[in-house]
Amino acid sequence: MKRILLLACAALLTLNMYACSRSSSRTITLAGSTAFQPFAEKLAEHYMQSNGSQRINVQGGGSAVGVQSALSGSAQIGMADLLKLPKEALVLDATVVARDGIAIVVNPANVVSDLTNEQARDVFSGKISNWKELGGADASIRVISREDGSGTRRSFDTLVMDEKLAKNALFQNSNGTIREAVASDPDSIGYISISLVDKRVRSVSYNGVDANNGNVKKGSYKLARPIYFLTKKELSPDSKKFLDYVLSKEAQDTLEKEGLIAVK
């Protein structure tokens, strides 16, 4: 009887291990861009509703994490919002799944409404340090930026900056936390995805062009970048199916509704 019980326990353990293995094999992990993370989570939720046995695990960490996760295999899909992918990512398949504009934002109490490229560069580098130099209040400008490794930061640096950020710049780890920081500080300035601009902050026009998706589509608003899904060459059937879903009309319509720019 003892032998039978031991064999039964061993069989049960084997079945549990097999079930866990099967469950794990049906999980797709996405990691990277924190700007795209909430949109990826929404798409994953919709996808799992129609594919009950499939699990989608969405993680952030920034675009640099997205590249490294895809390279190492710790994520089946890396997410990166970069104008130019780093050299190490060239061994991966890069699929553009959406586009995203970047808005320069201030507190709603700030009267400054437009920045030229030169003014924006001088503000974020610290050369312009008081709002009165731009027609605003006599108050020191507080620059708020994303941290190193952020795709939004790299894209902003490429599009706007040709020098380092102000020495006293404050750093936040997501577009959302930049929005909250600017919303709570009337003398601050930052940059976030156009899709995240709401009544808590106000976007300023850039070179006389309003920050909105319509102007990004027309090409008149220049602060925009692609969002990539990065995968290894040999993509699993489950990952391929999810990628196809993200590029489907249903998913692209969802992204457009949520404030991004569809690519299909």
Q: What is the pLDDT of residue 21?
A: 39
Residues in CB range of 91: below 8 A, 6 or more apart:
71, 233
Residues in CB range of 142: below 8 A, 6 or more apart:
168, 170, 185, 187, 188, 189
* Mean local confidence (pLDDT), 138-147: 97
Helix axes 151-159, 63-72, angle to 10 degrees: 120
* Mean local confidence (pLDDT), 138-149: 95
pLDDT digits (tens, 9 = 90+) for 103-133: 999 999 999 999 999 999 999 999 999 999 9
CATH top class, domain 101-218: alpha beta
Q: How far apart are CA 117 and CA 49, in angstroms?
A: 45
Inform me whether the pLDDT recorded for 41 exceeds 80.
yes
Q: How far apart are CA 123 and CA 125, in angstroms?
A: 6
Which residue matches tokens 């899904």?
229
Residues in CB range of 33: below 8 A, 6 or more apart:
60, 62, 63, 66, 79, 80, 81, 151, 227
Q: For the domain 28-100+226-257, what is the CATH code?
A: 3.40.190.10
Amino acid making up residue 30? L
Q: How far apart are CA 157 and CA 171, in angstroms?
A: 14
Q: What is the pLDDT of residue 132?
A: 98
Q: What is the pLDDT of residue 201?
A: 98
> What distance lies between CA 238 and its chain's CA centroid?
23
Where on the phi/psi map is residue 135: left (φ > 0), alpha (ψ -120 to 50), or beta?
A: left
Inform me whether the pLDDT recorded for 177 exceeds 90.
yes
The domain segmentation of the chain, as residue ranges, is 28-100+226-257, 101-218
CATH topology agreement for domains 28-100+226-257 and 101-218: yes
Q: What is the pLDDT of residue 42?
A: 97
Q: How confident is the model at residue 162 (pLDDT cuts 50, 70, 90)?
A: confident
